[in-house]
Amino acid sequence: MYVLGIETSCDETGVAIYHSKRGLCNHLLYSQIEMHSEYGGVVPELASRDHIRKLVPLIKQSLQESQLSSADINGIAYTAGPGLMGALLVGAATARSLAWSWQIPAVAVHHMEGHLLAPMLEAPPPAFPFVALLISGGHTLLVQVDGIGHYRLLGESLDDAAGEAFDKTAKMLGLGYPGGPKLSKLAENGRPVFQFPRPMTDRPGLDFSFSGLKTYTMNTLNGSQKTEQDKADIAMAFQNAVADTLSIKCRRALKQTGLKRLVVAGGVSANKHIRACLTEMAGRENAAIYFPRPEFCTDNGAMIAYAGCQRLLAGQQQELEIFARPRWPISELSGL
């Protein structure tokens, strides 16, 4: 079964074709980062308009590069939420219309389920059940995954998401958007002179909070000379605090569930220091750890094509309505 995957939930237009037996045939990504960077963040209306411009040409290119025609496609998977309403509607309307005209099923995919299943595109894929840490621009979730669609929320951020905290801290340090990768680069020149707090690790539970850490960073920056070296030292201290906090909570989640497999996904999982910290912790706990390849940590069409393919194989599909849900708790998903 060939599945066309479409991702338009935020500022990336992602398209991919996945075959249920042969795996990923092709994936293409157009990032709008340059367009939004002059505003310091995503402008929703500009995002929607750019998805309209880029989506159909990308679909044509993906078919061409895979040496397939529309008649070969057996189903379409599209991100239906959570995300920006206008941006989601572009993907949902295009997917639903193409599926109708090609007379094939369309399936709505939850964006975070896409992120969560992205490591399934790697070899070896993780077996169920596992603990998943999802760290992205809009979410920080710890989930027990018993199977596709069987998600038990273990913990989440009570305020800023991990990626949001990286982006806001980077802005404070005078770095551009999106700040995560830039802050991480700056931290490479840092010296271990500051020790930042590890929020919510001194009490039981698996929830996160990053907004206090952001304020602590701001106060440290304001109390310094704001030299390039100060900024690098602060970036390093911030990154270390986030990495340690995530690692402490993941260790707790593994202990609480008794599971020995940890999956880490979402944009922030591309961070080398966080990957190293979590890998070291997993090693100490005798647990296996799984990450997507760096390009599948951030938004992409491949994860949507994969997740949609699993749901289509299980007989799920959407009615003819154009389905988009900007807010959509992952715990509301049905299992296969």
Ligand X SMILES: Nc1ncnc2c1ncn2[C@@H]1O[C@H](COP(=O)(O)OP(=O)(O)OP(=O)(O)O)[C@@H](O)[C@H]1O
Residue closer to Mg ion, measured from CB, 233 or 299: 299
Quote the tokens at residue 223.
């109390």
Stretch that binds ligand X, among 94-102, 179-187, 188-196, 281-289 (CB under 6 A): 179-187
Residue 141: which region, alpha, beta or left (left: phi > 0; alpha: psi -120 to 50)? beta
Helix spans in 146-291 (H): 162-172, 179-187, 211-222, 228-257, 272-284
* Candidate residues 78, 151, 166, 290; the one interacting with ligand X per rule CB under 6 A: 166
Residue closer to ligand X, measured from CB, 75 or 301: 301
Among Mg ion, ligand X, none, residue 268 binds (CB under 5-8 Å by kind):
ligand X
By CB under 6 A, is residue 136 in contact with ligand X?
Answer: yes
**Would you say 34 and 136 are in contact if contact means Cβ atoms under 8 Å apart?**
no
Helix spans in 25-80 (H): 33-37, 44-65
By CB under 6 A, is residue 111 in contact with ligand X?
Answer: yes
Q: For residues 194-253, which are near ligand X according to CB under 6 A?
A: none
Stretch that binds ligand X, among 122-130, 159-167, 318-326, 328-336 (CB under 6 A): 159-167
- Say how far apart CA 262 and CA 288 lie, in whole Å: 6
* Candidate residues 181, 212, 326, 329; the one interacting with ligand X per rule CB under 6 A: 181
Instruction: Quote the least distance from Cβ 108 to Mg ion, whole Å.
Output: 16
Q: How far apart are the first and last CA of the chain?
A: 17
Look at residues 68, 84, 72, 235 and name the one whose alpha carbon lies nearest to residue 166: 235
- Site size with Mg ion, rule: CB under 5 A: 2
Please name the helix (run of DSSP H) or strand (run of DSSP E) that holds residue 102, with its range, or none: helix 85-102
| Cα atoms in the Cβ-side hemisphere of radius 13 Å centred on 291 | 20
Angle between helices 272-284 and 179-187 (to 10 degrees): 70
* Candidate residues 81, 266, 292, 301; the one interacting with ligand X per rule CB under 6 A: 266
Residue closer to ligand X, measured from CB, 126 or 179: 179
Q: For residues 122-141, which are near Mg ion according to CB under 5 A?
A: 136
Q: For residues 45-104, which are near ligand X according to CB under 6 A?
A: 83
- Say how far apart CA 280 and CA 278 lie, in whole Å: 5
* Candidate residues 113, 160, 230, 299; the one interacting with Mg ion per rule CB under 5 A: 299
Which residues contact Mg ion by CB under 5 A?
136, 299
Query: What is the contact surface with ligand X in residues (CB under 6 A)?
Result: 9-10, 83, 111, 115, 136-139, 163, 166-167, 178-181, 184, 266-268, 270-271, 298-299
